Structure formats: structure tokens, C-alpha cells
Structure 1
Amino acid sequence: MAAPAVSREAGDGLLVFARVTPKAPRDGIDGIWRGDDGRQAVKVRVRAAPEKGAANKAVATVLARALGRPKSAGEVVAGPKDRMKTVLIRGDTKALQAALGRLLADSP
């Protein structure tokens, strides 16, 4: 599963669309969020509060590590003050798509 509805290829990696829940009891990926408007995103929970960019850094780290990349490979590139974010994960696009597909297939 390449999860095309929640990601898009970028020049140097994969853009992942995420819906974030900050101040959660744990960090993690909780499957796919589906909006009433048809949008889809990866549900990401982070313990960090949305203050001074802490939640953004945590989201990028959680996604990068979940896809088998170092935390430095992730960066929020859109939506820094919104629950809906676009996160760039740098690396081989095909490998990242495969990893995302496996991750979402194993999620609730």
C-alpha cells in the first residue's frame, strides 16, 4: 500500500499529510484520519505541547522514525500553527512510500 491519499512525492523525499493531536499521553501513529470534506491524513499523536515549535519537532521526529529515518530527516513544511500539517521526510521516495504503506496497514 503506497498510501497515495496521505502522501505525495517530493524532490528529495516524501510529503506526508498529518493531523496532529498535541499533549497526548504517548507519541505514535494511529492510522488514517478522514475528514468530512474527503481529505485524508496520517493521525499523529505527540506528547509535546504546541508551544515554541515543540509539537512540530515532535511530529517530524515521530514520522521520520516510524518510516525508518533519523529524526533529522523530518521537517514540518506547511501548517506550523494548524492541526493539519505537511511533513517532509527526506530519503528515497519509493522506500518511504513502502514504509508508510506498511505502517498504515499495521495501524488500527
Structure 2
Amino acid sequence: MNQKRTTLTIQVQPKAKRNEVLGFTEGILRLKIAAPPVEGKANKEVISYLSEVLDIPKSSVDIERGHTSKIKIIAINGIDRERIYERIEAARRQ
């Protein structure tokens, strides 16, 4: 597997009806997450949902900064930026 490391800035809207990719706004990926922002539940769901959208293991997604904020810096390993954007766009269209 490719050992590339990419970082993304994301904005999370917790307690949504369902997990959803809203797309990019001014370079920030906006996500709706069903889990509440309590005891790390939303953060765990962000990692799980992004790994599902990107079709990579959960261990390849890490929250670098913003554990207690709606704005987070996410590190993604093993997939290049172009493929990340392709998969996010495909998920947004669903």
C-alpha cells in the first residue's frame, strides 16, 4: 500500500439524523455525524465514517488536532490526496 500521508481540515456537525458528506466549503470538508459530541463518540464516528467513505482501515485515519472542536485536522495514511477527493465526491453524490 502507498505510504502517503495527507491532512484534511474538516468541520463536523454532530447529532445529525445520519452520517453525510456535505462537501468542501473554502477548503474545509463538511461532515454531518449522527453521534453526539460526548465522551469522544463523535470523534470515533468521524474516524469510522471517513474510513468507510475512503475505503481504508480505521487505523489509517487519525484526528491530529481539534479533539474537542467542530473544526478538526485529520491525518489520512496510505491514500493520495487525489483519490481522497474522488471518493469524497462520490460519497457526496449518493
TM category (shorter chain) comes to: 0.7 to 0.9
Query: What pairs up with 1:63-82 in 2 under 5 angstroms?
Result: 63-82=50-69
Q: TM-score under structure 1 normalisation?
A: 0.72
* Distance in 1 separating the partners of 2:65 and 2:38: 16
* Distance in 2 separating the partners of 1:104 and 1:16: 12
Query: What pairs up with 1:79-94 in 2 under 5 angstroms?
Result: 79-92=66-79, 94=80
Gapped runs of 5+ residues in structure 2?
none
Among all aligned residue pairs of Structure 1 and Structure 2, give the percentage whose two residues are the same amino acid. Answer: 24
The AA in structure 2 aligned to 1:80 is H
Gapped runs of 5+ residues in structure 1?
1-10, 35-39
How well do the aligned residues superpose, as a CA RMSD in angstroms? 1.9
The alpha-carbon deviation at position 104 of structure 1 amounts to 4.3
Which residue number in structure 2 is paired with residue 33 of structure 1? 25
Which residue number in structure 1 is paired with residue 85 of structure 2? 101
CA deviations over 1:21-80 (Å, ceiling 9, x no partner): 00011112111123xxxxx21011111100111111111221122112012221111011
The alpha-carbon deviation at position 103 of structure 1 amounts to 3.1
CA deviations over 1:61-105 (Å, ceiling 9, x no partner): 21122112012221111011111001111214x2xx122221344
* Distance in 1 separating the partners of 2:76 and 2:49: 11
**Is the aligned partner of 1:20 residue 2:16?**
no
The alpha-carbon deviation at position 12 of structure 1 amounts to 5.2
